[in-house]
Structure 1
Amino acid sequence: MSETIIVFGASSGIGESVAALAHRHGARTVAVGRDRTKLEGLRGRLSGVEIASVDASRREDVDAFFRDQGAFDHLVIALSGGKGAGLFRELPLEDVRSGFEGKFFPQLNVAQAALSTLRKEGGSITFISAASARSVAPGTAGLTAINAAIESVIPILALELAPIRVNGISPGVVDTPWWNDVPADVKAGFFDRARANLPVRRVGTPEEVAELVWFLAHAAFVTGSVYEIDGGHRLVASRA
């Protein structure tokens, strides 16, 4: 019997790419998100992928979802919020709160609820944060707080939940629909700077992040780690 992987945040971007890759590898793949229309589109493109519309901020809905799924092998949490960016002097702190409520708390919600049915032997949880967790760039204080909070719990959970493996992935500038909520000129500026400054001379793709997610889900001797996939941004930042 093939393994089962459940991907939260699979209706677009990195989560969708993870679900597509898992499906190609022959895993029973359950794609979970809030947007039923997008999920239906994913299922139309990937025959055999199961879908479920779940609001990860509602714990009772998440608990009910996992009860219905039964035992499974790997959990990927690619849930993301859209708020928290901006210069601190003008940053509405309600936006930061919304960012935590859209990403940090739903990710923990899903991870905790999954423990009742996630297989202990060989099971894994992979969180998706962002490179802003270590950013010192102006305008990222809120995003840094949200993503650093996610990354800070990963090694602790790896110890508490062993032998379940717990890891994280911290993407840099990746061309996903998250950027659709950013003003077009701001997005263009970020992407232009990435192409000019990153050692790889381009922005990343969701498919590249998905490859790393798949690796970590099956890397049986890796736990408690956060892997950066940022095109070398940390190398450039270290020279500043």
Structure 2
Amino acid sequence: MRVVVMGGTSGIGRATALQQAAAGAEVIVTGRDEQKLAAIRGQVAAAERVDGTDEAAVAAFFDRTGPVDHLVLAFSPGAVGLGPLAGTDMAGIRAAFDGKLFPYLFAIKHARVTGSVTMISALSARAAIPGSAVLAAVNGAIERMVSPLASELAPLRVNAVSPGVIDTAWWSFLPDEQREAQFAEATKTIPAGRVGTADDVAAAVGYLIGADYVTGKVLPVDGGATVA
């Protein structure tokens, strides 16, 4: 089984790549940071430098790679666009879309996938969190395109995993103490009683990869936060 994880050198993407490799898959990881690529190369079948924001580079990658069974899209520009809309300039808004939504579209457009596509979105698509309008727009667009793509690309399966508060480097824009305080506050309202880990989300991706009769779905992995 061949699995491509784009954006697979850190956080959720990296955890997914390592879990799939441990399960016996031939895993190909892409990323932009050469140091992070070097760190994961010995643990997966291949790790290539690909700029997901460059459609031509994405197309060339899939031309080289050929058919794959499963594609996982875990691009993330970080907390770009986070904050009140009135204080967010258009460059930040465009960067949020350019760093995630458009790379997802480029990959789906050019990949030769036979089994499934799984996208990583986020809880912001479904939550009323002040300061998250831009993130909600990006992730909401990703979640909304799941069902039409599942219909359009059938029998290829198309799904998304929508993480809640996950302890990854995405939160590195906050100082350590502030980040821990944020996690502690979030834990009070999460029914699962803790923030999530990258491995939690990777396990959900693994489920969708193997779930041959599941398509067109968005799977929340948020500890019940949206239920609360």
Q: TM-score range by the shorter chain?
A: over 0.9
- 1:181 deviation in Å? 2.6
CA distance in 2, matches of 1:186, 1:88: 22
Q: Deviations over 1:12-43 (max 9, x none)?
A: 00000000001001010001111121011012
- 1:74 deviation in Å? 0.1
TM-score, normalised by the number of residues in structure 2: 0.96
Confirm whether residue 111 of structure 1 aligns to residue 108 of structure 2: yes
The match for 1:88 is 85
Confirm whether residue 209 of structure 1 aligns to residue 201 of structure 2: yes
SS at structure 2 position matched to 1:234: coil
SS at structure 1 position matched to 2:53: coil
TM-score, normalised by the number of residues in structure 1: 0.91
- 1:96 deviation in Å? 1.4
CA distance in 1, matches of 2:27, 2:154: 24
SS at structure 1 position matched to 2:64: helix
Confirm whether residue 136 of structure 1 aligns to residue 128 of structure 2: yes
- 1:70 deviation in Å? 1.3
| Aligned-partner residue type, residue 64 of structure 1 | A
Confirm whether residue 179 of structure 1 aligns to residue 179 of structure 2: no
Confirm whether residue 169 of structure 1 aligns to residue 153 of structure 2: no
CA distance in 2, matches of 1:98, 1:112: 20
CA distance in 2, matches of 1:143, 1:182: 17
CA distance in 2, matches of 1:64, 1:88: 36
After superposition, residues 1-240 of structure 1 pair within 5 angstroms as 3-44=1-42, 46=43, 48-82=44-78, 83-114=80-111, 117-119=112-114, 123-184=115-176, 186-236=178-228
CA distance in 1, matches of 2:22, 2:106: 28
Q: Is the 8 A contact 2:163 2:222 kept in 1?
A: yes
- 1:75 deviation in Å? 0.1
SS at structure 2 position matched to 1:220: coil
CA distance in 1, matches of 2:65, 2:198: 26
| Aligned-partner residue type, residue 34 of structure 2 | R
CA distance in 2, matches of 1:34, 1:201: 35
- 1:189 deviation in Å? 3.7
Q: Deviations over 1:56-111 (max 9, x none)?
A: 11111111111111111000000012201101232223211110011110111111
CA distance in 2, matches of 1:98, 1:77: 17
CA distance in 2, matches of 1:202, 1:62: 37
CA distance in 1, matches of 2:157, 2:36: 30
Please identify, of 26-35 and 80-89, the stretch whose mean Cα deviation from structure 2 is larger: 80-89
* Cα root mean square deviation, aligned: 1.3
Unaligned runs of at least 5 residues, structure 1: none
| Aligned-partner residue type, residue 64 of structure 2 | D
For this pair of structures, how many residues does the alignment match? Answer: 227
SS at structure 2 position matched to 1:23: helix
CA distance in 1, matches of 2:5, 2:200: 16
